[in-house]
């Protein structure tokens, strides 16, 4: 059992009968997330390229598995319990609705008067309320009933919307009770080390893998095109706007050039086996480059001992942050903002809006049984709307289309 964790860290929100000591509490946390329905649904939710469009590209489930692998190894190297980090990484995208961030924006607009919608706050709601596993003595659902350390590690933004500096927050007012419980012993808005590792592993995985998927899909050319002044300016500007607003173009382009100068950078890709192997090697090497930098910087700052919970913060060198942001910027320029995506995004937004409107008219009969029960128990229109948002957020891309066809036509 990893040291650095006490009984309060292993405590669960709802009491449970004693279990056999075959597994640790944190191993049980990981197993609960791994076997959850919400994790399975991620297989049919958009990452960057829509699920089913290509057998190679990633979906939210494969992304989460890769984040877990990256986070587990980095966390273990720092002294964190690997199962705490692993479970948090597996859970980090559970709250994402169909159609990725596009769907998230629509639901946030729809729910503006009831506290909004945010994928990370929805993750906490799933883990502590919507997933079926455990219950409180009074019958209320406790969700997966993870340990305090496990829930805290999965909380990327430990603050409410009212306290947020930007659009990101990690808890709805409805879920304040469990939030206060899991944050017991924390220091204000500071995240535990395991949550910081999860967040960095997420950044590393999707920055590298999204570029890999885009290269295979023929959307990004990592070669001579990135030497063109106009293309470089586009990458620098979008990277600054979306991911690194405290950097200027010179710093961002210096990071791009450092990446392009690496011996394993794939400047030419023709889809053949040898080229695909080189691309996979680049992916592996970049992940190692970023994680090694964070590991060495963290130990240099906090010592070489075992680091857990609030004993340290993850240190990521500035150059590493810039390089990760540049990779995300490449995907933003050549995939997310590509002109051919605009009609798709528009139709997705319309579909989500129509689903919510139709369910509001046809509730409770149009709702799934578990959400129907919650809708009937809701005390006012605000809580009933939250239930409908919960159901729509639970849908996969495919099931959103199917439900829309059935209810709307």
Q: At what angle do helices 60-78 and 82-91 cross, to 10 degrees?
A: 160
pTM over 0.75: yes
Chain Cα centroid distance, residue 104? 12
Measure the CA–CA gap between 244 and 318, rounded to whole angstroms.
11
- At 299 the pLDDT is 96
Tokens in use for 257? 């050039």
Measure the CA–CA gap between 307 and 181, rounded to whole angstroms.
23
- Residue 359: which of 33, 110, 30 has the closest Cα? 110
- At 52 the pLDDT is 45
Measure the CA–CA gap between 158 and 153, rounded to whole angstroms.
10
- Residue 257: which of 282, 294, 227 has the closest Cα? 227
- At 47 the pLDDT is 52
Task: Please report, for residues 30, 67, 139, 191, 406, the alpha-carbon distance to residue 314 in angstroms, rounded to integers and kept in the order given.
Answer: 22, 16, 39, 10, 48
DSSP structure class, residue 338? -
In CATH terms, the fold of domain 7-16+24-182 is Hypothetical protein af1432 (1.10.3210)
pLDDT string in tens for the chain (409-residue length): 567 899 999 999 999 988 877 899 999 999 999 999 999 999 887 655 444 444 445 688 999 999 999 999 999 999 999 999 999 999 999 999 999 888 999 999 999 999 999 999 999 999 999 999 999 999 999 999 999 999 999 999 999 998 888 889 999 999 999 999 999 988 789 999 999 999 999 999 989 999 998 999 888 999 988 999 999 999 999 999 999 999 999 999 999 999 999 999 999 999 999 999 999 999 999 999 999 999 999 999 999 889 999 999 999 999 999 999 999 999 989 887 766 667 888 899 999 999 999 999 999 998 999 999 999 999 899 999 999 999 999 999 899 999 999 998 7
Contact 6/127 with Cβ under 8 angstroms? Answer: no
Q: Where are the domains of the chain?
A: 7-16+24-182, 216-341, 343-407
Alpha-carbon torsion 362, 115, 195, 58, what sign? positive
- At 3 the pLDDT is 76
- At 56 the pLDDT is 45
Measure the CA–CA gap between 352 and 371, rounded to whole angstroms.
17
- At 165 the pLDDT is 83
- At 339 the pLDDT is 67
Tokens in use for 73? 């190894």
Measure the CA–CA gap between 19 and 276, rounded to whole angstroms.
47
């Amino acid at each position: 059992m990893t040291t650095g964790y006490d009984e309060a860290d292993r405590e669960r929100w709802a009491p449970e009968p004693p279990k056999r000591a075959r597994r640790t509490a944190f191993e049980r946390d990981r197993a609960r997330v791994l076997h959850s329905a919400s994790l399975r649904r991620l297989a049919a939710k958009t990452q960057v390229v829509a699920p089913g469009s290509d057998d190679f590209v990633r979906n939210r489930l494969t992304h989460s598995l890769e984040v877990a692998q990256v986070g587990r190894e980095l966390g273990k190297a720092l002294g964190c319990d690997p199962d705490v980090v692993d479970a948090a990484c597996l859970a980090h995208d559970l709250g994402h609705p169909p159609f990725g961030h596009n769907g998230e924006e629509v639901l946030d607009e729809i729910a503006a008067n009831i506290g909004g919608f945010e994928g990370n706050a929805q993750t906490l709601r799933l883990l502590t309320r919507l997933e079926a596993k455990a219950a409180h003595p009074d019958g209320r659902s406790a969700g997966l009933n993870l340990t305090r350390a496990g829930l805290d590690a999965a909380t990327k933004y430990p603050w409410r919307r009212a306290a947020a500096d930007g659009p990101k927050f990690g808890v709805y007012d409805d879920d304040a009770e469990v939030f206060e419980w899991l944050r017991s012993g924390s220091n204000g808005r500071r995240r535990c080390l395991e949550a910081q590792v999860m967040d960095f592993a997420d950044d590393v995985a999707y920055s590298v893998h999204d570029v890999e998927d885009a290269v295979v899909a023929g959307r990004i050319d990592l070669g001579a095109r990135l030497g063109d002044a106009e293309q470089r300016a586009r990458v620098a500007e979008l990277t600054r706007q979306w991911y690194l607003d405290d950097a200027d173009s010179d710093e961002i382009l210096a990071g791009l050039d450092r990446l392009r100068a690496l011996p394993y950078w794939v400047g030419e890709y023709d889809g053949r086996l040898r080229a695909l192997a080189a691309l996979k090697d680049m992916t592996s090497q970049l992940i190692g480059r970023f994680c090694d930098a964070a590991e060495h910087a963290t130990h240099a700052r906090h010592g070489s001992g075992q680091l857990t919970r609030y004993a340290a913060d993850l240190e990521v060198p500035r150059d590493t942050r810039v390089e990760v942001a540049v990779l995300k910027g490449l995907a933003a320029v050549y995939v997310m903002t590509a002109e051919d995506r605009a009609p798709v995004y528009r139709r997705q937004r319309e579909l989500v809006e129509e689903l919510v409107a139709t369910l509001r008219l046809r509730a409770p009969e149009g709702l799934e049984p578990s959400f129907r029960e919650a809708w009937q128990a809701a005390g006012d229109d605000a809580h009933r709307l939250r239930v409908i948002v919960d159901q729509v957020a639970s849908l996969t891309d495919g099931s959103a289309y199917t439900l829309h066809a059935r209810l709307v036509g």
